[in-house]
Chain A
Amino acid sequence: MRNLLPVLTIVATLLALWYAAAVALNAQWARDQAARAGETLTMSALVADTWSQDKPKLPAPHQVVTEIWNTTGAMVLEGRGFSKRSLFYHSWITFSATALGFVLGTALGVALAIGIVYNRTMDMSVMPWVIASQTIPILAIAPMIIVVLNAVGISGLLPKAMISMYLSFFPVVVGMVKGLRSPTPMQLDQMRTWNASASQTFWRLRLPSSMPYLFTSLKVGMAASLVGAIVGELPTGAVAGLGARLLAGSYYGQTIQIWSALIMAATLAAVLVGLIGLIQRITLKRMGMA
Chain B
Amino acid sequence: MSSNTVISARDLSLTFQTGDGPVHALKDVSLEVEKGDFVSFIGPSGCGKTTFLRCMADLEHPTGGSLTVNGASAEEARKSRAYGYVFQAAGLYPWRTIGGNIRLPLEIMGYARDDQEARVKRVLELVDLAGFERKYPWQLSGGMQQRASIARALAFDADLLLMDEPFGALDEIVRDHLNEQLLHLWDRTNKTICFVTHSILEAVYLSTKIVVMSPRPGRITDVIESTLPRVRPLDIRETPEFLDIAHRVREGLRAGHSDDL
Contacts and interface: CB of A to CB of B under 8 A. Distances in A.
B95 A193 contact: no
B233 interface: no
Interface stretch (B29-37, B80-88, B118-126): B80-88
A187 B94 CA distance: 12
Contacts of B58: 192
A194 interface: yes
Contact of A195 (B78, B95, B104): B78
Contact of A189 (B59, B80, B93): B59
Contact of B91 (A186, A196, A208, A286): A186
B122 to A, nearest CB: 18
Contact of A194 (B81, B88, B91, B138): B81
Contacts of B81: 194-195
Contacts, number: 52
A267 interface: no
A194 B109 contact: yes
Given A288-B95, A288-B137, A289-B95, A190 B87 contact: yes
Interface residues of A, number: 20
Interface in A176-232: 184, 186-187, 189-196, 200, 204-205, 208, 211
Contact of A204 (B59, B83, B94, B108): B108
Contacts of A193: 57, 59, 78, 83-85
Given A194-B81, A195-B81, A288 B138 contact: yes
B85 A208 contact: no
A208 B108 contact: no
Chain B contact patch, size range: 20 to 34
A186 B89 contact: yes
A287 interface: yes
A211 B95 CA distance: 11
Interface in B91-113: 91, 93-95, 104-105, 107-109
Contacts of A205: 93
Nearest to B136: A288
Contacts of B108: 191, 194-196, 200, 204
Contact of A186 (B87, B95, B104, B136): B87
B75 to A, nearest CB: 10
Contacts of B136: 288
Contact of A190 (B79, B83, B85): B85
A196 B83 CA distance: 14
A192 B94 contact: no
A286 B95 CA distance: 7
- Interface hub of B57, B83, B108 (most chain A Cβ within 10 A): B108
A200 B109 CA distance: 10
Contacts of B84: 193
A20 to B, nearest CB: 51
B202 to A, nearest CB: 21
Contact of B105 (A184, A187, A194, A286): A194
| Most B-side CB within 10 Å, residue of A192, A288, A289 | A288
Contacts of A204: 104, 107-108
A193 B85 CA distance: 7
A128 to B, nearest CB: 27
Interface of B: 57-59, 78-81, 83-85, 87-89, 91, 93-95, 104-105, 107-109, 136-138
Given A192-B78, A193-B83, 9 more contacts: A184-B91, A186-B88, A191-B108, A194-B108, A194-B109, A195-B80, A287-B94, A289-B94, A289-B95
21 contacts: A186-B89, A186-B91, A190-B85, A190-B87, A190-B91, A192-B78, A193-B57, A193-B83, A194-B104, A194-B108, A194-B109, A195-B78, A195-B108, A204-B108, A205-B93, A208-B93, A286-B95, A287-B94, A288-B94, A288-B138, A289-B94
